[in-house]
Structure 1
Amino acid sequence: MAELNAVSETALITLKARVIEAEKPAPLLHDPMGREIMDKLSSLVSTGTQKRVLEKKLKSSLISYLALRARKYDDYTRTFLKENPGGWVVSLGSGFDTRYWRISEKPWKYIEIDLPEVIVVKRKVLGTDPEYEMIGCSVLDDDWIEQVSGRQKQNVLFLAEGLLMYLREADAIGLIKKLAGTFSASQLVFEIIHRKYTKGFRKKLVESKIKGASGT
């Protein structure tokens, strides 16, 4: 399956970490759909970096961090939907996220945005759902904003889990401004890191630690 070769390692590592945590005796979060996706992906690859990522052992610290982050974003989503019945949820750079299946409070529409090669693979392993939609494009493209705002311009929760720190500063700020200028009564959830960890030696140090924790 050639499309899988273009899927980012980060998306696979994040998925694997959630699945490992969910199968512990006392897990930080439950993710049955994550296991289903990982099993299907494992059957689709036989060689290459993606195969090595799926087979490598992850450090417990990385597993806990990614699971706790996912759980926190789940909590934000549940709170938003309780306070805004019928609200929409848009997950930016979603990778192989399975939040739609982890929350019981269903939104009127749940949309995931990611690069076309990621969405192609995810559609093949998940199929379709009337309330669950995937749009294949860069989060920096205006196309998805036009598609969403053409149907819903308020009461939208935007989730940027593990995303903005990978964008250039100008692009991240530009994206936030576009959302603020297009949607009303909506929210954006994202995490930030200190500027010093995005440059020079500290950036390389962080990258090396992530690679070490993921076994790559």
Structure 2
Amino acid sequence: MVETKNSNNLLPISETLFIPLVARATETARDNPIISDEKSVEILKTINLDDKITDGGMISTLGILSRTKVIDDEVKRILSQDKNATIVNLGAGLDTRITRVDNGLLKWYDLDFPDVIKFRSQFFSENERIQTIPKSVLDTTWTEQIHFDKNSKVVIIAEGLLMYFSENDVSKILTLLAREFPRAHMFFDVVHSYFINKKISSTFLWGINNAKEIEKLHPAVELIQSWSAGNLLKERQPMILRLLNILPATKNRSQILHIQFKQ
């Protein structure tokens, strides 16, 4: 018998972790899905969720699927270059990427608030390669628990995370990462500044107008590549949204960035 997991004791900000889970599980059930995520399907079957929590809306769902696909592909690409890479997953939530990209050799760290890590542990097991860190990303001591080969690549993922922090806190996070993980690659999504402090599905605190602005937050940050939401999954976007993509705030409503920290 499958045990029903309790999600009622999570902090309000942690509730955002269920929206991506539902999006991935729902997509997996479609014909010709953009991503296949059986782990999300498995998790969703064991928990009772309020529809009001999990209904992110069409635009949010497209954004989740876009960033999931792009980051999956980029992590796999880096792993094809360095099978022993270390992956640091900030704000892990109920992310299931490890089940889609694990090559049996990488090291993987999932970091999130203690209550989230406790809830996550009901669905994922740790081993010598895959470990969890129950701390806030703003608690600078978490980096002490990351062990990596200086000759191997380090990849940092911050999916659906940084827009919930102030620009000052984002700058602090990048400063910490640049210091502790020189040459590391980082993948994360950002929202357009137009949506800051507007109550949409969530209240975002930080955003940028164009991808190059990220380099202003720290001198070690180098933008490698960016992907705009308006250019991704066009075949799934309704006509009105495709027409509105002529507006920068709509086209760049969400962007996925690949940066590298210069040594």
Q: TM-score, normalised by structure 1?
A: 0.81
Counterparts in 2 of 1:28 and 1:88: CA distance versus 1, 3 Å: same
Cα distance change on mapping 1:153 and 1:171 into 2, 3 Å = farther
* 1:190 aligned partner, one-letter code: F
- The yes-or-no answer on 1:96 pairing with 2:108 is no
Paired residue for 1:10, among 2, 10, 16? 16
2:199 counterpart of 1:204: yes
Report the structure, 1 or 2, having the larger strand content.
2
Please report how far the alpha carbon of residue 207 of structure 1 lies from its aligned counterpart in structure 2 after TM superposition. 3.9
Name the structure 2 match of 1:193: 191
Q: Which sections of structure 1, spanning at least 5 residues, go unmatched?
A: 43-50, 209-216
1:110-129 per-position Cα deviation (integer Å, ceiling 9, x unaligned):
11101100100111222334
Q: CA 1:110/1:54 → structure 2, altered by over 3 Å: closer, same or farther? A: farther
* Match of residue 63 from structure 2: 65
Residue 181 of structure 1: how far off its partner (Å): 1.1
- The 5 A counterparts of 1:58-207 are 59-148=57-146, 151-152=147-148, 154=150, 155-199=153-197, 203-205=198-200, 207=202
Q: Which has the higher contact order (CA 8 A, sep 6+)?
A: 1
Change over 3 Å in CA distance of 1:61–1:165 after alignment to 2: closer
Aligned residues: 195
When structure 1 is superposed on structure 2, of 123-132 and 185-194 the one drifting more is 123-132
Q: Letter of the aligned partner of 2:183 in structure 1?
A: A
Contact 2:7/2:47 (8 A) holds in 1: no
- Cα distance in 1 between the residues matched to 2:87 and 2:20: 20
CA displacement at 1:133 relative to structure 2: 1.1
| Identical residues among aligned pairs (%) | 28
8 Å contact 1:12–1:54 — kept in the other structure? Answer: no
SS in 1 for 2:87: strand
Cα separation, partners in 2 of 1:131 and 1:189, compared to 1, 3 Å: same
Q: Give deviations 1:126-173, integer Å, cap 9, x for gaps.
A: 23343221111101111211111xx22642100011111111111111
How far apart are the structure 2 equivalents of 1:133 and 1:4? 25
Whichever residue aligns with residue 24 of structure 1, its letter is R
Question: Does the CA-based 8 Å contact 2:113-2:135 persist in structure 1?
Answer: yes
**Are the structure 2 counterparts of residues 91 and 14 from structure 1 closer, same or farther at C-alpha, using a change threshold of 3 Å?**
same
Counterpart CA distance in 2 for 1:25 and 1:207 is 30
Tell me, what secondary structure is at the counterpart of 1:66? helix
- TM-score, normalization by structure 2: 0.67
- Which amino acid in structure 2 is aligned with residue 111 of structure 1? Y
* Distance change in 2, residues 1:103/1:56 (3 Å): closer
Q: Which runs of 5+ in 2 are unaligned?
A: 204-263
| Paired residue secondary structure (1:40) | coil
Summarize deviations over 1:49-93 as a string: whole Å, max 9, x none: xx3138865544433321121111111111121122211001100
1:68, 1:119 → 2: CA distance? 25
Pick the structure with more helix per residue.
1
SS at match of 1:124: coil
In 2, Cα distance between the equivalents of 1:27 and 1:72? 14
Q: How much is the aligned-residue C-alpha RMSD, in angstroms? A: 2.3
CA distance in 2, matches of 1:144, 1:33: 27
